[in-house]
Structure 1
Amino acid sequence: MTVHRALFALVAALFALAAGRDGFDRWVDATDLPQTLTETSVEIRDRGGVLLRAYTVGDGIWRLRPRLSAVDGSYLDMLLRYEDKRFWHHHGVDPLAMLRAIAQAARHGRAVSGGSTLTMQVARLIEDGSTGRWAGKLRQIRLALALERRLTKDQVLSLYLTHAPFGGNLEGIRAASLAWFGKEPRRLTPAQAALLVALPQAPEARRPDRHPLVATAARDRVLSRMAAAGIIATDTAASARRAKVPDRMRPFPALAAHLADRVRAGTPEQQHHATTIDARLQAASEKLLADAARRAGPRISAALIAADHRNGEILASVGSPRYGGDNGRQGFVDMTRAVRSPGSTLKPLVYGLAFDQGLAHPETLIHDGPVQFGRYAPRNFDGLFRGDIRVREALHLSLNIPVVKLTNELGPARVMDALSRAGADARLPGGKAGLAVALGGVGLSLRDLVQLYATLARGGTGPRLHSDLHAPATQTARTMSRVAAWQVSNVLAGIAPPPGAPRGVLAYKTGTSYGHRDAWAIGYDGEHVIGVWLGRADGTPVPGAFGGDLAAPVLFQAFARMKPGFAPLPAPPPSTLITGAAGLPQPLQRFRPRGGGPVTPQDAPRLLFPPDGAILDSVGETVTLKVRGGLAPYLVLANGQPVAKGLRRNEFDIPSPGAGYSTLVVVDGAGQSDRVTVRLEQNAETTGRTRP
């Protein structure tokens, strides 16, 4: 019989070689070993060692390098008992197993077991050889003996756990456990361990997703033998037989996919990359953005970066709602690095620089009215004017005119330098900074903005953001003083949150770029900073999209998914001037350009009539105003809209703004103003009656 003769010939050859021990040793030692350091998948891991993403090797195989200490012990016990129970004692070949295989073949007239040790199987796997012909078997025996002389038992076992086939393009225990069970092989159930023992013997014929009955039968044979050998209890084996085998291959982890691609491309020769990412937070953030983008509408993409601003470690980085194509969302584009217009998110930087330069204080009055710088005439987003307003309120309302005034006084170059010092890589469309920088006229990425806000959170300077767990910490240059940074944070913490969100826990700012192309929300508490972007990856407008509506709710939800509460914002530095407008030094009570010259309080206009809080009869078509002081000509605003201009008398009529509450503002030729709020009613019994 062919099988019998082949096995007999092999054993005879072994005994013949053993007779000449020295020649046998030289024969084994001269064995040409194939490469045992086979290519394995590049792995990107989170801060705790959790696999974020892996990449197939060159031939499209999933082959992940295992560690024996991270493989379930019960699986190893089953494997060795089933495949090679004398593994720890033989030297690569088990003569007893060979004799058993010969006896079984003689009794049954066919090969029942091959007599191969685990080391011989490793020899076949790394050499990709056959098992059938006697020459191939002899080569495996020689290679197995050589492997045992040059490697430890643990190394041989690790090679098996790396190369054993488990169906499809899966090689090795880790790839198999991840694909069939969605988890690392650290803890396996008896049913799972038995299936993984059975699969390598016939990986395609026993694939559970294609041949579930065959796979189940093979698994159950392993369970029965393990129970008979005392490796597992009989009732445990019976319970394991009732478990279903997996009906599909699970996808491999692909968390932080865009960041993983960058990390791999940065050091392509490195096999394992340890990142600062938190896998739990990353998964929660990816789901949050996928839901937000779906609600926002078709073609909407989204991005998020969350970082610890105390050490600069990036904890989550989501480049798109779904990696790859997804109904026009262009998920392959990493929007954390895309250069976009930041909208109003740069305004806090401008105000911080103004505080630092002594140009303003949060309680300083600044005039929000028509202004022109050469041919540039900025307007507020809603087209309205508020007259004199506190700087704090101007930032809360994200007004454009006050921040452009401050930028003009600071100089756009100072703003650009501050961005650079904060670690942001700003891009100028025309190559030269203009006043529109303050309103988003500069290219920045989400990462740039999160870096900027991290420096604000740390008092004007802080660690640079990074995702390499072992990277040394580096600091940004100082952007502004600690006092100025705290004042900005204090103002931002007063911005009204989205409906249902807690108030005063985050210092945050929203932004909307020109044409509604980008919706932003960046914020921080005492420990962490998060930035959110929504828009279309191709830069086309999203009609009606605002940062406050789209991005701000996602920002607060992201913080809620990060931790159970909010870390308190820092206390003010000791030298901080905390007072109302009246307690400020004279130069800080009202913003004036440095070359504009002083204006004494008595020079400012005063609205004598109607008094603040008055109730007026709205039957007439006009309302009479009386002004004292100020410099003609006067401009009058009703509810933010100009209603009269070029007025040179101290008493004049303006068109009635209609029934209800109205805010009336008079602005003189020097830009000073006064305001009152009145209520107009039909048939008011008392004109000028004070509102209750």
Structure 2
Amino acid sequence: ARVALAEGVPRKRLKMPILAPHATDQMVARLKDKASIRLTLDANLQRSLEVLARDRALALGPDISIGILAVDNATGDILARVGSPDYFDERRAGQVDMTRAVRSPGSTLKPFIYGLAIEDGFVHPESLIDDRPIRYGSYAPENFDMTFQGTVSVRKALQFSLNVPAIALLDRVGAPRLASRIKQAGAALVLPKDEAPGLAMGLGGVGITLSDLVQLYAGLARQGNTVALRDLMDDASEREQMRLLDPIAAWHIGNILIGAPPPENAVGNRIAFKTGTSYGYRDAWSVGFDGRMTIGVWVGRPDGTPVTGMLGRTTAAPILFDAFARSGKVLMPLPAAPRGALVAQNARLPTPLRRFRPLGELVRTSDERALRIQFPLNGSRLDLGADGRSDLSPIAVKVAGGVPPMRILVNGLAAGDIDARRQKLVDAPGPGFTRVTVMDAAGALDTVVVRLQ
């Protein structure tokens, strides 16, 4: 009683304690009749990242908002969701949850372009690719600094976020296929009404939320499979895994991104991350992962007004690295290379993989025939023989056209060269879906997917 009497009387109303207001609002609106709601949020991490967002926003200016989302790679559980620096700050539109707002992703979709190109056998991280002026009809992509680097490795092109190589690969992979794969992985891309996916989506010409982007990057950490994010502890519904990339391609992308140049005063080679800046400096992004957790950061004005000089690398990336540092957890290494991953220098790669050739360089003269796999047929089923586990029958691969020598890839792994009779027996990898690719000396290729049983 004496202690209570000695304590001073407050002269103003104290601020009510509040934690994760955006996540709380959403759940209360969704589960109105539930007496108790348990979220997957880690209270300590949530509190730490809210302080981080508030401090950085104060330094960046009164109109800037910040969104931060952290998820567990293994489970997809949301560990922290910071929708804005201050829920009650009207000038920052604090009640708008920027982790769920649709924004332009800048360059943050590039890893998935490269992943599909690696999966399809177009390139390897050590393949050479040109960064030089090129035009696609009326569209002529340029690098952010308006310079060109010449011939670089695919690894360097992604680490330094060069625009021209990314668009060349997207042209080869196909923008509709990239959009379809992202949708298959559980993320939603927003395009203007009646507009089809185009090359500009590789540089941010599409809309996506921070939540979906973090789900995609967590899929890279999960060796190519995504899982829907979960924020409700009592949600026991089964969540199926969704395919983003094959495990080898996902590992290669993680291995490239962990070598990206870190922000100033940060330690490199510890977090696999990518940054992005949307057109007109409206959005600054940085998304990264280690072996345990994926964190995404968005910075900008909620009303979409440009902020001159606001870059993902200098604005969002330092927040990302600080978020990992404040997590209170030791960074976990990324998974080891999956079986069959090709790790080699450029000189030891199969000839067609040593240098990427854009579609425009693959035009043939009239007396040449385009490369085509005649057997097996795409979508066919092949009997392995025996019991499907031992004494497997080899797969006969036959081709027409093409320029010798021609290399066969089975699920992205070199499986020998086509012989003078334009055929080759290759070992069957086992039951399931198998991708067979043939690449010729000119860089052209054909791919079929068959089911072995």
Quote how far apart the aligned CAs of 1:246 are: 5.4
Paired amino acid for 2:146: G
Q: What corresponds to 2:297 in structure 1?
A: 532
Quote how far apart the aligned CAs of 1:546 are: 0.3
In 2, the alpha carbon distance for the partners of 1:552 and 1:536 equals 17
Q: 1:330 aligns with which of 82, 87, 93?
A: 93
Paired amino acid for 1:300: I
Residue aligned with 2:107, SS: helix
Residues 168-227 of structure 1, C-alpha deviations (whole Å, 9 max, x = no match): xxxxxxxxxxxxxxxxxxxxxxx5xxxxxxxxxxxxxxxxxxxxxxxxxxxxxxxxxxxx
In 1, the alpha carbon distance for the partners of 2:337 and 2:160 equals 23
What's the % identity of the aligned pairs? Answer: 48
Q: 1:392 aligns with which of 155, 159, 164?
A: 155
The answer on 1:372 being equivalent to 2:135 is: yes
Residue aligned with 1:526, SS: coil
Contact residue 450 and residue 529 of structure 1 kept, 8 A: yes
Q: 1:309 aligns with which of 65, 69, 73?
A: 73
Q: What corresponds to 1:482 in structure 2?
A: 247
What does 1:353-432 align with in structure 2 at a 5 Å threshold? 353-430=116-193, 431-432=195-196
Backbone CA RMSD of aligned residues? 1.9
Residues 280-328 of structure 1, C-alpha deviations (whole Å, 9 max, x = no match): 11111111011111111230111100111110110110111100234x2
Q: 1:268 to 1:562 in 2, by over 3 A?
A: same
Paired amino acid for 1:306: A
Q: What corresponds to 1:461 in structure 2?
A: 225
Q: 2:25 aligns with which of 238, 261, 264?
A: 261
Quote how far apart the aligned CAs of 1:272 are: 1.5
Q: 2:340 aligns with which of 575, 591, 604?
A: 575
Q: What corresponds to 1:341 in structure 2?
A: 104
Q: What corresponds to 1:277 in structure 2?
A: 41
Relative to the length of structure 1, the TM-score reads 0.51
Residue aligned with 1:523, SS: strand
In 1, the alpha carbon distance for the partners of 2:340 and 2:283 equals 38
Residue aligned with 1:273, SS: coil
Paired amino acid for 1:342: P
Q: What corresponds to 2:234 in structure 1?
A: 470
In 1, the alpha carbon distance for the partners of 2:217 and 2:162 equals 20
Which runs of no fewer than 5 residues in structure 1 stay unpaired?
1-190, 192-237, 600-669, 671-692
Contact residue 492 and residue 509 of structure 1 kept, 8 A: yes
Q: What corresponds to 2:282 in structure 1?
A: 517
Residues 311-370 of structure 1, C-alpha deviations (whole Å, 9 max, x = no match): 0110110111100234x2111211111100000000001001111010111000011111
Q: 1:594 to 1:380 in 2, by over 3 A?
A: closer
What does 1:680-691 align with in structure 2 at a 5 Å threshold? none
Contact residue 83 and residue 98 of structure 2 kept, 8 A: yes
Residue aligned with 1:285, SS: helix
In 1, the alpha carbon distance for the partners of 2:221 and 2:328 equals 18
Relative to the length of structure 2, the TM-score reads 0.77
In 2, the alpha carbon distance for the partners of 1:266 and 1:252 equals 24
Paired amino acid for 2:340: S
Paired amino acid for 2:203: L
Contact residue 309 and residue 463 of structure 1 kept, 8 A: no
Q: 2:83 aligns with which of 293, 312, 319?
A: 319
| Pair member with larger Rg | 1
What does 1:216-227 align with in structure 2 at a 5 Å threshold? none
Residue aligned with 2:326, SS: helix
Contact residue 306 and residue 529 of structure 1 kept, 8 A: yes
Q: 1:464 to 1:247 in 2, by over 3 A?
A: same
Q: What corresponds to 1:296 in structure 2?
A: 60
The answer on 1:494 being equivalent to 2:242 is: no
What does 1:603-618 align with in structure 2 at a 5 Å threshold? none
Residues 45-77 of structure 1, C-alpha deviations (whole Å, 9 max, x = no match): xxxxxxxxxxxxxxxxxxxxxxxxxxxxxxxxx
Q: 1:451 aligns with which of 195, 202, 215?
A: 215
Structure 1 consecutive aligned stretches of length 4 or more whose deviation exceeds 4 Å: 238-241, 243-249
In 2, the alpha carbon distance for the partners of 1:499 and 1:543 equals 20
Quote how far apart the aligned CAs of 1:385 are: 1.1
Contact residue 304 and residue 532 of structure 1 kept, 8 A: yes
In 1, the alpha carbon distance for the partners of 2:281 and 2:95 equals 22
What does 1:586-625 align with in structure 2 at a 5 Å threshold? 586-593=351-358, 596-597=361-362
Paired amino acid for 1:508: F
Higher helix share: 1
Paired amino acid for 2:173: L
Q: What corresponds to 1:438 in structure 2?
A: 202
Q: 1:549 aligns with which of 289, 298, 314?
A: 314
In 2, the alpha carbon distance for the partners of 1:464 and 1:597 equals 40
In 1, the alpha carbon distance for the partners of 2:345 and 2:352 equals 14
In 2, the alpha carbon distance for the partners of 1:366 and 1:283 equals 45
Residue aligned with 2:97, SS: coil
In 2, the alpha carbon distance for the partners of 1:556 and 1:433 equals 32
In 2, the alpha carbon distance for the partners of 1:393 and 1:318 equals 32
Q: What corresponds to 1:659 in structure 2?
A: none
Residues 7-40 of structure 1, C-alpha deviations (whole Å, 9 max, x = no match): xxxxxxxxxxxxxxxxxxxxxxxxxxxxxxxxxx
Contact residue 216 and residue 244 of structure 2 kept, 8 A: no
In 2, the alpha carbon distance for the partners of 1:418 and 1:269 equals 38
Which runs of no fewer than 5 residues in structure 2 stay unpaired?
365-441, 443-453
Residue aligned with 1:287, SS: helix
In 2, the alpha carbon distance for the partners of 1:391 and 1:255 equals 43
In 2, the alpha carbon distance for the partners of 1:282 and 1:248 equals 27
What does 1:133-212 align with in structure 2 at a 5 Å threshold? 191=1
Residues 600-649 of structure 1, C-alpha deviations (whole Å, 9 max, x = no match): xxxxxxxxxxxxxxxxxxxxxxxxxxxxxxxxxxxxxxxxxxxxxxxxxx
Quote how far apart the aligned CAs of 1:592 are: 1.4
Quote how far apart the aligned CAs of 1:479 are: 1.3
Paired amino acid for 1:553: P
In 2, the alpha carbon distance for the partners of 1:449 and 1:369 equals 29
Contact residue 309 and residue 462 of structure 1 kept, 8 A: no
In 2, the alpha carbon distance for the partners of 1:263 and 1:272 equals 11
Q: 1:276 to 1:384 in 2, by over 3 A?
A: same
In 1, the alpha carbon distance for the partners of 2:8 and 2:135 equals 75
In 1, the alpha carbon distance for the partners of 2:296 and 2:264 equals 19
What does 1:626-665 align with in structure 2 at a 5 Å threshold? none
Q: How many residues align?
A: 364
